[in-house]
Structure 1
């Protein structure tokens, strides 16, 4: 999709975060790596075995019950569930999170064209902020305005409408970039133009 052409007549662009701006697995797999290192230190378990198990389980079935599966495999019980959850919120990653190349190019073009850029993200607000802090923004961070829907206790659609209202714009003046059916439904509920991030090309 030629998003560059599509965005020409828009005044602001709204992005989700996970799997829109960067691959969420790049964050999660580093969290699992840190957790495995923690268990090696705490329980004298082999970190490589743990991370290999967690990575396979994640790739096959996603994040659902990943702690429980790992705890069962390595006989941990619920002892480290708090640590596992806390790491998701405050992990200091070994590697920066890199934007998708097509998204980086697109966002840089938006800045050049003086478009307003918003991020509206769902999920645990502390965790989402932690991700944002560890993205390599290449100087784009000063042009971003971020809304956390869970913290605001609003739906994404309600935040989209707030952004439009605050900027005195109509739906045809904005564009939403998402990655899943939920993002699409929230956009379409307001008749906001919507595109899928991975389909953006020049």
Structure 2
């Protein structure tokens, strides 16, 4: 699906960040790399082995299990949990986060057409802001308006969308939300705006 297929009558496009504009693993894997380097220095552990375990745990069990698995395997002191979570919020990544190419094209066309782009993202606001700062936006950053849903109520609760609509005096029929998670779709429905799956854009 291309811009011309969804643009008719739409004046505002609302995107989630993770796994919509870029692959979230690109951020997490770099955090794991940095954390492994820290443990290699402090505990004399093999960084590659640590990274491999963290990536494997993420892929098979999800990110919430990553530190627990690492702690169990290497008998890490609980104090390192703070370092692990702190790094998620403040990591300075070795590499910029790259947008999905089709999302970059879509956003560029939206800007050329003088329409609005919003990012409404779930998750810890400090972590999400850190991600936003390290994306390679290709000059798009000055056109973005960002909202952190957790500051009010995480999606699927529609509170953040209602705030956005009110602050920018938008009509629901003029908006479309683009996301992947079930929470995004239910949020869009609750707010009374159209919804598109990320896959409909990336895979066509």
Tell me which interval the TM-score lies in, with the shorter structure as reference length: over 0.9
Partner of 2:44: 44
- TM-score normalised per structure 1: 0.95
Partner of 1:109: 109
Matched, 1:76 2:51: no
CA distance in 2 between partners of 1:71 and 1:11 (Å): 49
CA distance in 2 between partners of 1:191 and 1:151 (Å): 21
Offset from partner CA, 1:159-184 (integer Å, 9 cap, x none): 21222223332211001011111100
CA distance in 1 between partners of 2:76 and 2:182 (Å): 36
CA distance in 1 between partners of 2:180 and 2:153 (Å): 21
Partner of 1:158: 159
Offset from partner CA, 1:34-74 (integer Å, 9 cap, x none): 00000000001110110011111111111122101101111
Q: How does 1:130-145 map to 2 (within 5 A)?
A: 130-145=130-145
Partner of 1:67: 67
How many residue pairs were aligned? 202
RMSD: 1.5
Offset from partner CA, 1:1-26 (integer Å, 9 cap, x none): 34432123111111111111100010
- TM-score normalised per structure 2: 0.94
Q: Is the 8 A contact 1:4 1:106 kept in 2?
A: no
Structure 1's 152 and 190: CA in aligned 2 closer, same or farther, altered over 3 A? closer
How far did residue 192 of structure 1 move? 0.7
How far did residue 154 of structure 1 move? 6.5
Misfit runs of 4+, over 4 Å: 153-156
CA distance in 1 between partners of 2:137 and 2:169 (Å): 28
Query: Any gaps of 5 or more consecutive residues in structure 2?
Result: none
Q: Is the 8 A contact 1:7 1:175 kept in 2?
A: no
Query: Any gaps of 5 or more consecutive residues in structure 1?
Result: none
Partner of 2:24: 24
Offset from partner CA, 1:74-100 (integer Å, 9 cap, x none): 111313100000000000001000001
